[in-house]
């Protein structure tokens, strides 16, 4: 949003520089992104002043030149050689001093330097209007009629002093500040200076010769509608002051009537619209919706098909304007217009937003209406605009103000407690200062007690509806810089937050995976029915089918994240990306039928991991190895570790074979008998469905279940002061026995001293038999209270070996 520094000064005294004003606005929360100088003419007439010709004589060596002495406000007069035929002593003129750069009309800029012309010194230049870019005439120098003292900047004489454009990064919640008045309100509060509103006391109805029948049929979409007529006006070019104001904030002038509506929009924050009254058939203005499909040509010449929810401003025959969004071509103001109907309204934010989004129209009006304008501003803005139109275009006000406002919008009433103000801000602010700040922000205090008050918030502050919002208003005006740093401050909140923030967890897990070389993908939730048929027995329900699919290939919602990942792998492989590690957070969808016969729709959040190709890129240091199940298992465990799930964590898991419909081999980790994640090698028949021939490793997390679990409280314990010891065993076992059974039995047998179990070798061979294998297992023992003795170590190992022999049928090999 662009704000004019000089325009802002019409609302509040600002002796501060534009940069300082920008800093104060940023402190209130209206972040200023930049301050840029704006010159009405190139160069801003810098270095040009009002001067007076003291003497004028003919140059002795050139009949067409004159020697002058000029008072330009300096201690000594300037000697200037002038070639203008109309120069004479006693004239007030425009003087370009040495160092000034001139921007002539239709020519290249040039800088004034000291020079000798035909032997005579010249210390400046007396200027014609074309030489300073203010016209085309070169008949002679500009001769002024002004009492201004010599040395006065020429920009002040021409009322072309430089302005400054203050660029504010306006956040969506602060639509109240989307005007010069709104910005001035914040400065009024923070600087504690009077705020000047435009004077509309001169408004008067000249006669009621041209009164229209105005009706609102859709009061939900248009709670307030006001308007009046102005007759016998002359549409033409706007005066310089108006054009300069608009250009400063990046708006191109159109004509005096339209320019005034744009001016008032940015002046007060209230959009207005002017209709050519002669185009209003039947002398009727009706605010209503029209049948869907009704064609309408907007001001840009585009024909649009209206919906049955688009609020329109209509005459007796049809629509004239899309309410709060864009005017119509047929009813717009032109140079032939002599009578107008001037509209100022309060439209529903939801209605305008829906229409603007549907037609993809973004205008200054829709920007404001979509976010919520002031329902109490339309009449004041209407009077302001009518007076300005009379000033620049003439005419008479020929109707009373129509103000249709059946259900006035009430202020927000927000209970506020002083203890919460102190708690959230961190310091105690005097109650009188709180009242001053809120009063300056147009927030009244009612029901005042020693404990608090009720904040009565004007309806234009659509972002202040809660106690925390009121406290934020106090803090931003009081100033964050005025809050002293203190170790006693802590984060406070008036709101209960969920135990587990899903977004934070996704970021945390995503960072863990990307650190391990994974890339995040985002895929469609739509998929092919053929994919589901291939894994039908493993799906949790029946397909959710689209009623109007774009194609048969994308006609159902996915029930598994697998095929989205496989399609992404195939896409990248076709583009010679061979080593891939991907992860995705996404939802799956299915429907089930209850015992009562009703259909229940379910959506669940999942996290998928996919690996394909080599472990790392080719290198001279080591030979590339294809990814294996253990690589995926390690990545899965790193994710589970964040939730403290795993064999060495607080939450222990069980395992069972993964679903063979999906996996050629793999495991499902169970926590509290519920699946947390399944991982393994994808069945080749499934990868072939997406034309993949390479092995693919895949893991599927139940993200909703993980979110319910969250992270347990962190427990801390002292690092043991006594050393650990390691003992190794070789166990010959039946092939059906997994290492997990060894680990579980070991921890069940020795709960105090056993700190860790690890398998470091597996052997199978004819010497053991076809149905046997040997595990080489290490056991780490440690007592946190004392150094282990050989006797206690041997006793522990003997109990472990006995348990393995008894429970697992192990043969111990030493």
Q: By CB neighbour count within 10 A (0-12 exposed, 13-18 middle, 19+ buried), where does 791 fall? A: exposed
pLDDT band at 684 (very low <50, low <70, confident <90, very high): very high
- Residue 698 bridge partners (DSSP): 610, 680
pLDDT value at 369 more than 60: yes
For the segment 507-520, the average pLDDT, to the nearest whole number, is 94
Domain count, the chain: 6
Q: Residue 204 domain-assigned?
A: no
* Cα gap 743→71, rounded to integer Å: 102
| 560/686 same-domain check | yes
Q: Once rounded to an integer, what is the mean pLDDT over residues 182-203?
A: 95
Mean pLDDT of 314-318: 94
Lowest mean pLDDT segment, chosen from 24-33, 134-143, 477-486, 532-541 = 477-486
Weakest mean pLDDT among 79-88, 525-534, 767-776 = 767-776
Domain match, 419 and 373 both: no
Structure tokens at 620: 């001279």
Residue 730 inside a domain? The answer is yes
Cα three-residue angle 296-298-304, rounded to 5 degrees: 45
pLDDT band of 487, cuts 50, 70, 90: very low
> Which tokens sit at 596?
């009562």
Q: Is residue 208 part of a domain?
A: no
Looking at the fold, whether 677 and 607 belong to one and the same domain comes out as: yes
Determine the average pLDDT of the residues in 345-369: 94
Expressed in angstroms, the distance from the first to the final Cα of the chain is: 80
User: Is 612 a member of any domain?
Assistant: yes
d(CA 295, CA 356): 16
CATH number of the domain residue 467 falls in: 3.30.56.10
Same domain, 611 and 528: yes
Q: What is the mean pLDDT of residues 494-510?
A: 75
Closest CA to 180 of 224, 172, 170, 465: 170
Q: Is residue 108 in some structural domain?
A: yes
The number of residues in the chain equals: 814
Q: In what order do the strands lie in the sheet with 444-446?
A: 412-417, 452-457, 444-446
Where is the binding site for Mg(2+), in residues? 463, 469, 472-473
- Same-domain check for residues 102 and 243: no
Assigned domain for 715 exists: no
Verify that 60 and 36 share a domain, yes or no. Answer: no
804 and 674 together in one domain: no
Grouping H, G, I as helix, E, B as strand and the rest as coil, residue 755 is strand
What is the 3 state secondary structure string of 375-427? CCCHHHHHHHHHHHHHHHHCCEECCCCEEECCCCCCCEEEEEEHHHHHHHHCC
Q: With cut-offs at 50, 70 and 90, classify the pLDDT of residue 712.
A: low
Claim to verify: residue 151 and residue 186 sit in the same structural domain: no
Please check whether residue 483 lies inside any domain of the structure: no
Report whether pLDDT(373) > 80: yes
Same domain, 259 and 336: yes
618: pLDDT strictly greater than 90: no
Looking at beta carbons, which pairs linking 661-669 to residues 24 or more positions away fall under 8 Å?
661/535, 661/537, 661/538, 662/535, 662/538, 662/560, 662/562, 662/686, 662/698, 663/698, 665/629, 666/629, 667/633, 669/636, 669/640, 669/645
Q: CA–CA separation, 668 vs 636, rounded Å?
A: 11
Q: What is the per-residue pLDDT for 527?
A: 92
The HSE-up count of residue 722 (CA atoms within 13 Å, CB side) is 12
Domain span holding position 420: 412-478
Q: Which of 351, 373, 404 is the last residue of a domain?
A: 404
493 in any annotated domain: no
> For residues 646 and 302, which has the higher predicted lDDT (pLDDT)?
302
**652 closest CA partner among 676, 684, 685, 634:** 676
| Burial class, 538, CB count within 10 angstroms (exposed 0-12 / middle 13-18 / buried 19+) | middle
Distance from C-alpha of 636 to C-alpha of 624, rounded to nearest angstrom: 22
pLDDT of residue 134: 85
Query: Same structural domain for residues 7 and 46?
Result: no
Q: Taking the CA atoms of 440, 445, 449 and 452 in sequence, report the sign of the dihedral they define.
A: negative
pTM attached to this predicted model: 0.60
Going by their DSSP bridges, the two strands 519-520 and 580-593 should be labelled as parallel
Cα 714 → chain centroid:
36
Cα 680 from Cα 683, distance rounded (Å) = 9
Q: What is the mean pLDDT of the chain?
A: 91
The binding site comprises 463, 469, 472-473
Q: How many CB atoms lie within 10 A of CB 479?
A: 12
* Per-residue pLDDT at 770: 83
In this structure, the answer to whether residues 399 and 461 fall within a common structural domain is no
- In the chain, the percentage of residues whose pLDDT exceeds 90 is 75
The rounded radius of gyration (Å) of the Cα atoms in the chain is: 40
The per-residue pLDDT for 498 is 52
DSSP state of 621: S
CATH code at position 696: 3.30.930.10
CATH number for 132: 2.40.50.140
Given this model, what pLDDT does residue 492 score? 52
493: pLDDT confidence band, cut at 50, 70 and 90? Answer: low
- Reply yes or no on whether the pLDDT at 230 is more than 90: yes
Cα atoms found within 13 Å of the Cα of residue 562, Cβ hemisphere only: 30
**Residue-level pLDDT at 234:** 96
**Co-location of 111 and 142 in the same domain:** yes
Mean pLDDT value of segment 157-174: 89
Question: What is the pLDDT averaged over residues 215-228?
Answer: 96
Query: Does 699 have pLDDT greater than 80?
Result: yes
Task: Tell me the per-residue pLDDT of 273-286, one tens digit each, with 9 for 90 and over.
Answer: 999 999 999 999 99
């Amino acid at each position: 949003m662009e704000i004019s520094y000089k325009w802002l000064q019409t609302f509040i005294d600002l002796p501060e520089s534009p940069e300082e004003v920008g800093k104060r606005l940023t402190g209130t929360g209206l972040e200023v992104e930049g301050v840029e100088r704006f010159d009405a003419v190139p160069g801003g007439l810098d270095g040009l002043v009002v001067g007076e010709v003291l003497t004028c004589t003919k140059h002795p060596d050139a009949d067409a030149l004159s020697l002058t002495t000029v008072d330009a406000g300096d201690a000594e007069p300037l000697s200037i050689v002038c070639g203008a035929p109309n120069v004479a002593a006693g004239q007030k003129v425009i003087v370009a001093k040495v160092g000034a750069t001139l921007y002539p009309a239709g020519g290249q800029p040039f800088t004034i330097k000291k020079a000798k012309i035909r032997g005579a010194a010249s210390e400046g230049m007396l200027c014609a209007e074309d030489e300073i870019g203010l016209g085309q005439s070169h008949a002679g120098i500009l001769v002024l009629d002004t009492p201004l003292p010599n040395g006065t900047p020429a920009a002040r004489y021409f009322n072309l002093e430089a302005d400054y454009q203050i660029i504010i990064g306006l956040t969506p919640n602060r639509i109240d500040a989307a005007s010069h008045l709104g910005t001035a309100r914040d400065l009024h509060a923070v600087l504690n200076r009077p705020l000047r509103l435009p004077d509309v006391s001169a408004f008067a109805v000249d006669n009621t010769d041209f009164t229209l029948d105005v009706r609102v049929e859709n009061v939900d979409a248009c709670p307030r509608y006001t308007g009046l007529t102005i007759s016998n006006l002359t549409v033409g070019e706007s005066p310089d002051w108006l054009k300069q104001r608009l250009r400063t904030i990046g708006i191109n002038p159109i004509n005096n009537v339209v320019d005034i509506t744009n001016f008032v929009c940015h002046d007060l924050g209230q959009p207005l619209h002017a209709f050519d009254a002669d185009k209003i058939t039947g002398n009727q203005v009706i605010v209503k919706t029209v049948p869907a499909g009704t064609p309408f040509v907007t001001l840009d010449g585009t024909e649009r098909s209206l919906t049955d929810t688009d609020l329109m401003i209509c005459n007796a025959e049809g629509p004239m304007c899309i309410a709060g969004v864009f005017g119509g071509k047929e009813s717009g103001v032109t140079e032939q217009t002599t009578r107008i109907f001037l509209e100022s309204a309060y439209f529903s934010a939801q209605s305008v937003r829906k229409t603007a989004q549907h037609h993809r129209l973004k205008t200054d009006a829709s920007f404001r209406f979509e976010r919520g304008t002031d329902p109490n501003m339309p009449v004041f803005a209407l009077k302001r605009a009518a007076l300005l139109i009379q000033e620049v275009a003439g005419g008479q006000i020929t109707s009373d103000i129509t103000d249709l406002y059946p259900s006035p919008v009430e202020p927000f009433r927000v209970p506020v407690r002083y203890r919460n103000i102190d708690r959230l801000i961190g310091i105690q602010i005097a109650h009188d200062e709180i009242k001053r700040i809120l009063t300056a922000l147009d927030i009244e205090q009612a029901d005042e007690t020693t404990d608090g008050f009720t904040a009565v918030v004007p309806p234009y502050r659509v972002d202040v509806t809660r106690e925390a919002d009121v406290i934020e208003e106090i803090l931003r005006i009081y100033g964050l810089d005025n809050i002293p740093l203190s170790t006693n401050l802590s984060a406070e909140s008036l709101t209960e937050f969920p135990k587990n923030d899903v977004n934070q967890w996704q970021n945390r897990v995503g960072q863990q995976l990307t650190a391990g070389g994974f890339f995040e993908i985002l895929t469609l939730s739509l998929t092919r029915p053929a994919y589901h048929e291939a894994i039908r027995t493993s799906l949790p329900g029946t397909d959710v089918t689209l009623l109007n699919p774009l194609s048969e290939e994308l006609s159902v919602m996915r029930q598994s994240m697998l095929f989205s990942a496989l399609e992404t792998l195939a896409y990248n492989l076709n583009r010679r990306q061979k080593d891939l590690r991907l992860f995705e957070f996404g939802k799956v969808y299915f429907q089930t039928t209850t015992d009562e016969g009703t259909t229940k729709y379910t959506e669940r959040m999942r996290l998928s991991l996919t690996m394909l190709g080599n472990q790392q890129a080719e290198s001279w240091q080591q030979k590339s190895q294809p990814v294996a199940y253990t690589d995926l298992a390690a990545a899965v465990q790193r994710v589970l570790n964040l939730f403290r799930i795993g064999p060495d964590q607080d939450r222990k898991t069980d395992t069972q074979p993964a679903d063979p419909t999906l996996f050629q081999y793999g495991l499902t980790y169970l926590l509290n008998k519920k699946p947390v994640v399944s991982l393994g090698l994808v069945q080749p028949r499934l990868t072939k469905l997406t034309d993949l021939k390479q092995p693919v490793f895949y893991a599927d997390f139940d993200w909703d279940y993980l979110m319910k679990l969250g992270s347990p409280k962190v427990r801390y314990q002292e690092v043991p002061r006594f050393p650990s010891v390691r003992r190794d065993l070789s166990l010959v076992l039946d092939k059906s026995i997994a290492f997990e059974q060894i680990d579980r039995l070991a921890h069940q047998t020795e709960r105090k001293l056993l700190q860790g179990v690890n398998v470091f070798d597996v052997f199978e061979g004819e010497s053991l038999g076809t149905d046997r294998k040997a595990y080489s297992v290490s056991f780490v023992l440690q007592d946190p209270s004392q150094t282990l003795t050989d006797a206690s170590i041997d006793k522990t190992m003997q109990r472990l070996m006995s348990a393995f022999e008894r429970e697992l049928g192990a043969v111990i090999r030493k």
